[in-house]
């Protein structure tokens, strides 16, 4: 089994052989009703997701991400375009072959959607019962699944007796019981606390690595994307407005929406009091404010002290944060530089030549 995400380049079309999921011009328009105008939930979405990849779709509520993920298993029927999963065009299937295809696509949900009348074991067994497997076959599949998600000791517990994280583990075991090639995750960690979220994401990553399952997840949290995704698409008003490797989108966002998602994430956001004092034009005693973004090995470079020594000027750090995105260090920093003798212009040149993305935000007195 081959895992290709590392080989993806932005803008490079994925070859059809390695594409697990391909959406072409997928649109969903809800017709107008007596009380409301027609709503375009998806607007000609093109998306290719490679085999073995973890792809994130990030967007605000109402952006269309829920509709998007549901076109992949045919819970939503697009009004235009085609959806192909593992070589099968989902959008053209009749009811029966669509049911067959759905067995190859697992799904987990924000509110878990476990049957309250069934134990953990029985919940995981459900998709296998639906597929008509014998009790012995079901047992042979369910038990390893419960082991995989670490719930072997909870097999006879009802959902009411499980914590949120445990319920989602049952949900994951259930989604994987039919050995699907694709796992769809619909805000699967949104109802969980941060620590549980991390453990569930780690489990998803493990499943992706060990079973080779292609994962598509939708979320409104950049932290989730950063934690496990290989690539990400930013969705707004039914369109994918930006997509690429997580590291690239996170370090060099091209759209305002992507930037706003990152702002929630990066500590180096501007404080409100600084924003209030920030002005467009320089003044005699003003200091210039820069946002510096450095990635990869540069994050370890003592660039600020080098800058101060080089220009013989004062550099003040207002906020700074270094974190890991997709396993690579990534730092952002807000600094002010004394502009007394036009030093800020020289500083900008120095930083740029050192390979640091430098953005002049304005001036403060």
- Separation of alpha carbons 246 and 55, rounded Å: 9
Position among 100, 264, 314, 324 found at the interface with another protein (CB under 8 A) = 100
Residue range at the interface with another protein (CB under 8 A); choices 50-58, 125-133, 143-151, 275-283: 125-133
Position among 6, 116, 273, 280 found at the interface with another protein (CB under 8 A) = 116
Q: Which residue is it, tokens 């895992």?
A: 3
115 binds another protein (CB under 8 A): yes
Position among 32, 89, 99, 341 found at the interface with another protein (CB under 8 A) = 99
Phi and psi at 308, nearest 5°, equal -60, -40
Interaction with another protein in 154-213: which residues (CB under 8 A)?
Answer: 158-161, 174, 178, 184
Position among 71, 84, 90, 102 found at the interface with another protein (CB under 8 A) = 102
DSSP 8-class letter at 59: -
129 binds another protein (CB under 8 A): yes
Residues 18, 50: contact at Cβ < 8 Å? yes
127 binds another protein (CB under 8 A): yes
Which tokens in the block code for residue 60?
Answer: 């605000």
Kindly write down the DSSP assignment for every residue of 192-225, as one continuous string. S-HHHHHHHHHHHHHHHHHH--EEEEEES-HHHH
Residues 136, 129: contact at Cβ < 8 Å? no
Position among 113, 190, 313, 319 found at the interface with another protein (CB under 8 A) = 113
- Separation of alpha carbons 350 and 303, rounded Å: 10
CB of 117 or CB of 273, closer to another protein? 117
Residues 232, 248: contact at Cβ < 8 Å? no
73 binds another protein (CB under 8 A): yes
**Considering the complex, what minimum distance in angstroms separates the CB of residue 101 from another protein?**
8
Residue range at the interface with another protein (CB under 8 A); choices 31-39, 103-111, 145-153, 245-253: 103-111
**Considering the complex, what minimum distance in angstroms separates the CB of residue 176 from another protein?**
11
**Considering the complex, what minimum distance in angstroms separates the CB of residue 179 from another protein?**
13
66 binds another protein (CB under 8 A): no
Interaction with another protein in 244-303: which residues (CB under 8 A)?
Answer: none
Number of residues that bind another protein (CB under 8 A): 28
75 binds another protein (CB under 8 A): yes
Residues 234, 257: contact at Cβ < 8 Å? yes
- Separation of alpha carbons 187 and 164, rounded Å: 13
Q: Which residues pair with 186 in a beta bridge?
A: 109, 218
- Separation of alpha carbons 240 and 327, rounded Å: 25
Q: Which residue is it, tokens 């002049």?
A: 360
Position among 4, 29, 131, 346 found at the interface with another protein (CB under 8 A) = 131
Which tokens in the block code for residue 289?
Answer: 């404010």
**Considering the complex, what minimum distance in angstroms separates the CB of residue 109 from another protein?**
6
111 binds another protein (CB under 8 A): yes
**Angle 120-130/164-176 helices, nearest 10 degrees?**
20
Which tokens in the block code for residue 143?
Answer: 């038990």
Residue range at the interface with another protein (CB under 8 A); choices 85-93, 127-135, 246-254, 275-283: 127-135
Residue range at the interface with another protein (CB under 8 A); choices 41-49, 98-106, 202-210, 240-248: 98-106
Residues 6+ apart with CB under 8 A from 122: 115
The separation between CA 90 and the C-alpha centre of its own chain, rounded to angstroms, equals 24
Fill in the per-residue mask, 21 to 60: x = in contact with another protein (CB under 8 A), - = not in contact. Answer: ----------------------------------------
Q: Which residue is it, tokens 């030549």?
A: 353
Binding site residues, another protein, CB under 8 A: 73, 75, 99-103, 105, 107, 109, 111, 113, 115-118, 126-127, 129-131, 158-161, 174, 178, 184
């Amino acid at each position: 089994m081959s895992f290709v995400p590392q080989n993806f380049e932005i803008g490079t079309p994925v070859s059809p052989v390695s594409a697990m999921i391909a959406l072409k011009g997928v649109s969903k328009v809800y017709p107008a009703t007596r009380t409301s105008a027609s709503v375009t939930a998806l607007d000609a979405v093109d998306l290719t997701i490679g085999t073995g990849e973890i792809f994130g779709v990030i967007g605000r509520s109402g952006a269309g991400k829920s509709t998007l993920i549901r076109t992949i298993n045919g819970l939503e029927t697009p009004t235009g375009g085609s959806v192909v999963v593992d070589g099968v065009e989902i959008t053209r299937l009749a009811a029966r072959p669509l049911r067959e295809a759905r067995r190859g696509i697992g799904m987990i949900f924000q509110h878990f959607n476990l049957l309250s009348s069934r134990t953990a074991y029985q919940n995981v067994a459900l998709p296998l019962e639906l597929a008509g497997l014998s009790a012995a076959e079901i047992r042979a599949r369910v038990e390893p699944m419960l082991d995989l998600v670490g719930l072997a000791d909870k097999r006879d517990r009802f959902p009411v007796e499980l914590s949120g994280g445990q319920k989602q583990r049952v949900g994951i075991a259930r989604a994987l019981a039919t050995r699907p090639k694709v796992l769809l995750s619909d805000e699967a960690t949104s109802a969980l606390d941060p620590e549980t979220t991390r453990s569930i994401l780690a489990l998803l990553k493990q499943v992706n690595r060990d079973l080779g399952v292609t994962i598509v997840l939708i979320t409104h949290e950049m932290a989730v994307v950063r934690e496990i995704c290989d690539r990400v698409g930013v969705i707004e008003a039914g369109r994918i407005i930006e997509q690429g490797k997580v590291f690239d989108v996170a370090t060099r966002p091209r759209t305002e929406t992507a930037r706003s998602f990152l702002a929630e994430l990066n500590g180096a956001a501007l404080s409100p009091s600084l924003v209030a004092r920030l002005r467009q034009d320089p003044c005699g005693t003003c200091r210039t404010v820069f946002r510096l973004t450095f990635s990869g090995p540069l994050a370890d470079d003592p660039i600020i002290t080098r800058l101060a020594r080089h220009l013989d000027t004062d550099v003040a750090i207002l906020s700074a944060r270094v974190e890991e995105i997709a396993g690579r260090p990534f730092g952002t920093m807000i600094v002010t530089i004394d502009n007394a003798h036009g030093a800020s212009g020289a500083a900008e040149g120095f930083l740029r030549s050192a390979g640091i993305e430098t953005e002049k935000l304005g001036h403060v007195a």
